[in-house]
Amino acid sequence: MLNSEKVLFALNDTDETYLESARIRLGYRTEEAVRRPARKRVVAFALAAALILALGAAAYAADLFGMRALFMKNTTSADNPNGGYVSFTQPQDVPEEMDESIRAKIDNSAKAWEEWTVWSRENGIYEPESCKAPEGTKSSTVEENADGTVTIIFYSDGSSENEIERRIVSAEDYEASEAFWEARAKGFSGYDYPYHVYTQAMADKLESIAANYGLKLRHQRTSMFQNHDNVSDFSTREEITARINEVCAGGKSFFRTEPTGYDKFYYFDEGTYAVSFYTTDNLTNTGTSCYLYNSPYGTLSSGYEIRKEVKDIDAFTVRSHTTPDGTELTVLQQDTDMYAYVYLENSFVTLHITQLEGLSEAEIDAVLDMVDFSAIK
C-alpha cells in the first residue's frame, strides 16, 4: 500500500501536464478539473497513484512502490551503471509502511546471512568476487603473468572466438578460487547449494547461526519434472499438480486455473518451493513461461539462490494488480520480462513471466490470476 505523505511529497512542484494526464487516466477530465489552479492543489490519493504509474523511473527513484524489493544492491558496474540483478528469493528492501512483524522477520534473516557471510569468508571456503564468472559464461582458461598474477579468460562456449571477458586477479584469489571449486566438486551433502557448505566445521557454524536467529535451513530438495532437458524421470502434469496442491496449499487448489504443463517443481521440507509452469491455451502466447518462488521469512536465505541480470532498472514500468483472492501484487515490467511480488504473512512470493510479446496487460493479469495466493500456507 502506498504511503500518502510520501506520494504527496514526491508530487510537489510536479508539472500540471502530468497531473492532467493522470486525471484523464482515472476519468477525472472535466471542465472544472481543467480550470483548477495549479497552486495549492490537493491531489486525490488515487490520482497520485495513477501519476506514479505513469512516471515509472521517477517512482523508482523515490521508491514509492517498494520497487527496490527485488533489486540487489552493489551490483552495478562501469559497463552497466544503471543495471543490476533481480533476486527472486529474498526481499532486498522493505517499504516503510510494511507490517512491523514482517519487517522484523526479514531483518532477522538478513542479519543471520550477513553473520554467516563474514564467518565463511574468514574461516570457510569461498570463491573470491574477482574470480566469479560473468553472466553467460560456459568455459574459461587461465594464463599466468610474469608478475605472479593470472589472467582468467571467460567464454560463452568452448570456442576462443566467443570471449566474454578477460580479468587479471591475484595469485591468492586464484588459489582460493581453485580450492573452492575443488571443495565444491567433492561436495558436502545435506544443505542446499547456496549455503556453500563444504566441511563439517562450516556445517556446524551454519547450524549454530540459524539456531541463534531461530531460523530454519534448506536441506536436500525434492524435484519433479514434466518437460526438462537431461532428465530421465518424468511425471505427468496431473501428478505434479496434485503434489503442488499437497505441498504448497495443504490439499487445496494452488492454481485457480491449472497450467497446461510444467518444466519442473521442487520443494524443501521447511517450506521453500519453486514452480516453473506454462500458461493456459486461451492466452495469445501459449509458450509463455512462468516461474514462481515461495521464500518463507523463517528460513535463512541469501537472495542469491536465484537471480537474473537486468540492463536498465529505470526502464521498468510499475503498477499494482489485485488477484481474485484479494492479493495485491506489485508488477514490474520491461520488454519481455515481468516480475510480480507480494509480502504475504509468512513468506515472500515472486512470479517471473517471460516471452511477453503479443500479450496484452489483461492477458498478463490473467496469468497472475492463475495462482490462488490465499491458498499458500
Summarised one tens digit per residue, pLDDT across range 167-181 is: 999 999 999 999 888
Weakest mean pLDDT among 263-267, 281-285, 289-293, 352-356: 281-285
Average pLDDT for residues 259-288, to the nearest whole number? 80
Of the segments 80-84, 155-159, 190-194, which one has the largest average pLDDT value? 190-194
Mean pLDDT of the chain: 79
Looking at per-residue pLDDT, the higher value among 112 and 15 belongs to 112
Give the model's confidence band at 217: pLDDT under 50 very low, under 70 low, under 90 confident, else very high. very high
Average pLDDT for residues 85-90, to the nearest whole number? 87
What nine digits make up the cell of 265?
A: 517443481
pLDDT of residue 35: 37
Weakest mean pLDDT among 1-15, 124-138, 194-208, 240-254: 1-15
Among candidates 17, 94, 2, which has minimal Cα distance to 54? 17
Tell me the pLDDT tens digit for each residue of 23-60: 333 344 333 333 344 333 344 444 444 444 444 444 44
Helix (H) or strand (E) segment spanning residue 240: helix 237-249
- Whole-angstrom Cα distance, residue 16 to residue 306? 42
Looking at per-residue pLDDT, the higher value among 46 and 73 belongs to 73
Average pLDDT for residues 220-228, to the nearest whole number? 84
Give the model's confidence band at 74: pLDDT under 50 very low, under 70 low, under 90 confident, else very high. low
Strand partners, 267: 222, 273
Give the model's confidence band at 75: pLDDT under 50 very low, under 70 low, under 90 confident, else very high. low
Cβ(23)–Cβ(33) below 8 Å:
yes
Strand partners, 262: 277
- Whole-angstrom Cα distance, residue 361 to residue 224? 31
Would you say residue 211 has pLDDT above 70?
yes
pLDDT of residue 158: 61
Burial annotation 60-91 (CB, 10 A radius, 16+ → b, else e): bebebbbbbbbbbeebeeeeeeebbbbbbbbb
Share above pLDDT 70 across residues of the chain, in percent, rounded to a whole number: 74
Tell me the pLDDT tens digit for each residue of 228-246: 556 667 899 999 999 999 9
pLDDT of residue 202: 93
- Whole-angstrom Cα distance, residue 369 to residue 68? 23
Average pLDDT for residues 193-221, to the nearest whole number? 94
What is the chain's Cα-based Rg?
23
Tell me the pLDDT tens digit for each residue of 99-155: 899 999 999 999 999 999 999 889 988 889 899 898 788 888 999 999 999 999 999
C-alpha distance from residue 216 to each of 111, 206, 297 (Å):
14, 11, 9
